[in-house]
Structures are given as C-alpha cells and as structure tokens.
Amino acid sequence: MEYFPALAAEFDAAQREIHLETYIYEDDVAGRTIAAALARAAQRGVATYVLVDGFGSKDLNPELIEGLRAAGVRFLVYRPNISPWTFRRSRLRRMHRKVAVIDARVAFVGGINIIDDMDTPKHTPPRFDYAVRIDGPLVARIHPPVKWLWALVTATQFKSARPRFRDLGPFTVARGGQRAAFVIRDNFAHRREIEQTYLAAIKGARSEILIACAYFFPGLSFRRALMEAAARGVRVVLLLQGRVEYVLLHYASRALYGAFLDAGIEIHEYHRSFMHAKVAVIDRHWSTVGSSNIDPFSLLLAREANVVIEDNGFAGQLRDSLLEAITGGAVQVRRESWGTQPLGVRVVTWLSYGIARLLTGLFAYGRAREFT
C-alpha cells in the first residue's frame, strides 16, 4: 500500500527520464494514479517509457494506453499478439519484471505489478508483496539493462537495427556497510543467474533460511540445496501461498511437501490474503527482493529482475516482516498430519505434479529435466 504513492511521487519529481516495466498493468485505481503521474511527467518534457507484457497486460483498456500516448508517454508491449491457443515455447517467454528507474537517480525493484492492492477478487485485500526503493551506486547498474530491453523491443517491433548485446551482470556495488547486486534472468546470457545466486546463498547458510514465495515449484538442485541445509542444522522456513489461484501449480507444488517435511523443513501457508511475495532472508544478513518466483516459469522462461542486499539492518527488517506474516496470517503444515490427507486430495496432488512435469518438459528448454 506504500508502493504506489512512493512511485507516483518519484514520477512527479522526475526531471529527465522515467522507465517503467511491469508484467500486469490494470486500469484500476492504482493504474490510473500511476498513469496520471506518467502523463504529468511527459507533459512537462520528461522522456517517459512504459513497457508492459503482452500476456500479463492483454486486457488493459486501450483508452488508458491512448491517453498515455496522447500525453507523450512512449508505450510498448513486450511480445504482443500471442494466441492463447498456441503451444509454442515462445508463448511463455514473458517479461515478468517489475522495475522503475527515474532520472538514473532512483529505482524500484520488486514483485508488485501496477494493480490495485485492495482489489483482489475472491481474496481478502490487500495483496502481500514487496518492492524496494534504491538510490546510490546500484541505480547505475539497473539503468542500462532497462534501457537495453526498451531498445531491443523497439528494434524487434519496428524492424530497426537491433542493439548490440552486452553482458549486463551480475552487478555488485557497495555503499557504506551495504553490498547490493541487481540480478536478472533472460534467455541470452543470464539464464541461471537468479537461481545460482539463490543456490550460492543457500549452500553457504549457517543458521537460518527464510523464503517467502507465491509460486514455489523448485527444481532438483534447489530442493537438494534446501534439504542439505536442513540436514546440517540450518533452520529452513518456507512461507508459501495458502489460497488457490492457479489450481495446477498449487497442487503440484504441494506434492513436494512430504519430502520437505521429512527433511525437517518448516512449511507455513499464508491464508490472510492473496500472497504475491518473492523474497528471502538468509542468516539475517543476505536478502533478496524481486519478481522471480522459484518455479519453471520464472527460472527457465521469463525475464525477471531481483535485487540482492547484504546488510544486517535491511535483512532484519525484512525478516521481522515475514515472521509477523507467519505469526499473524499463516498456518503451519505439520508432518504428522500431512500423511493423513484424504485419498482424493492425494490423487489430485500427484496428478497435478505429473501434469506440471509434463508441461515443463514441453514448454521449457535447456534444464527442464531439473524440474522433473
């Protein structure tokens, strides 16, 4: 609920340039508030760029788009006109990032789409999600990939010369006692960057791993890393989506619960409201906030962006927020009760798991076997 006022305020303070990337843009209270701020910026001469995903924002009101363009906002759609009936892999290669950069001075990175937190059909509002505001030297590392993606989409859609590819990360910078990195995932040079960053932190964990993830269907390497951490005495806590949004993924991910519980991993399902978070805290020092879920869509197909921070203060605040969510909004899944589920639930769970494995093999590429 704090995100949209902060984002609009930065747009109103912009003097030279705004870049906004979002998977979903809705024509609702939040969407119109941000659109008005973007329009005001463009009308006073700020170069304003908005990039949305062609699937996530496929239902965006054309009148809102035309209003932005009429105000001078440059508006593009990433991979538009993908038929819902196509079974090509390209259908799932989406732009899932949620990034804003203002004047190359301040940036926002996280999991929050441009959609009203209080408008959650079939769910209790508000959505449970995170984004971080960034200033300092890391912004200089976030700005080039955002500009490069805009140039790439422009070149692809308008048949102009494609920008020359550059290796854009990972980027690690220090400021005071903090170290931070901007970590991306794409289908070019950064296919495993986010996953490898997670795995390195998990394998180095000594006391605690706390992961909150809306869509959690990790591959074999990720599962093993978590279970090995638990085996060496690390407390491993998963805060996962408790409410059903996508039936197949919900039940497929629950097929992994038994192995996790047997390994001593804690699982808490968040029920208070719709959960959309993709964050983690390790050893109260390492943390990440971003758009990437831990599932085949995010780790094998989509364009994603996370920020990684090494700082006790930031990690402590994020950890406290997650523990509060666990205490006040989640139900722990107990090992002793998990094996006593009704037969029908177990059948649905394992059928969903089998279908999810099959679809991963069909649509993903390269490392799809990791998820089977």
Please give the positions annotated as active site: 96, 98, 103, 276, 278, 283
CA dihedral (145, 150, 154, 160) in degrees, to 10, reads: -30
d(CA 260, CA 236): 10
Is 101 in contact with 72 (CB distance < 8 Å)? no
Single-letter residue type at 266: E
d(CA 23, CA 29): 17
First to last CA, the chain: 38
Residue 318 phi, psi (nearest 5): -65, -40
Single-letter residue type at 236: V
d(CA 220, CA 70): 49
Residue 14 phi, psi (nearest 5): -65, 145
Single-letter residue type at 337: S
From the list 23, 156, 181, the residue with the least C-alpha distance to 98 is: 23
- In terms of Cβ atoms closer than 10 Å to its own Cβ (0-12, 13-18, 19+), residue 161 is exposed
d(CA 200, CA 207): 15
Bond preceding residue 144 cis, omega within 30 of 0: no
The phi-psi region of residue 267 (left if phi > 0; otherwise alpha if psi is between -120 and 50; otherwise beta) is: beta
Cite the DSSP H helix spans in the chain. Answer: 3-13, 29-43, 62-70, 139-158, 193-203, 220-231, 247-254, 257-262, 296, 312-329, 335-338, 343-363
d(CA 238, CA 218): 12
- Compute CA 258 distance to the chain's CA centroid, rounded to the nearest angstrom: 26
DSSP code, position 91 = G
